[in-house]
Amino acid sequence: MSIELNRPALEQARALVRRGDVVRDERDDWSEAAPAASDENEFIEKHGWTEFSHWHLGIDRDENPETKGAYSFPYGDFEKVRRSGVISGESRAGQYDHDEIRDELRKLLELIDDE
């Protein structure tokens, strides 16, 4: 498994933050805010896999791109960036040595907190 930074997702996240499409919640809120599997399935059905991928900062190119297993480090709820998701992702990326993803999530958090 070789997870790398999903650059189109990062660009979308930055654009959403700049537009103000952010929920400034706390880290512990992510357990409630993270999309459920049924929400993910509904989003994929309506918008497709490419749009689904844009909500995840990690991508595993060894996985089938039309499976959820190809995507990791979600940062939002399919409408807005969730500060709690960014914080959670940064922590997990650090734990699993995904340094580039961790660093970009840290920068995204700074962008959120500076807006």
Pairing of strands 56-60, 3-5: antiparallel
Structural domain that includes position 60: 3-114
Q: What is the pLDDT of residue 63?
A: 96
- What's the domain count of the chain? 1
* Whether pTM exceeds 0.75: yes
Q: Encode the chain (115 residues) as per-residue pLDDT tens digits.
A: 589 999 999 999 999 999 999 999 988 999 999 999 999 999 999 999 999 999 999 999 999 999 999 999 999 999 999 999 999 999 999 999 999 999 999 999 999 999 7
Q: What is the pLDDT of residue 1?
A: 59
Look at residues 41, 39, 75 and name the one whose alpha carbon lies nearest to residue 57.
75
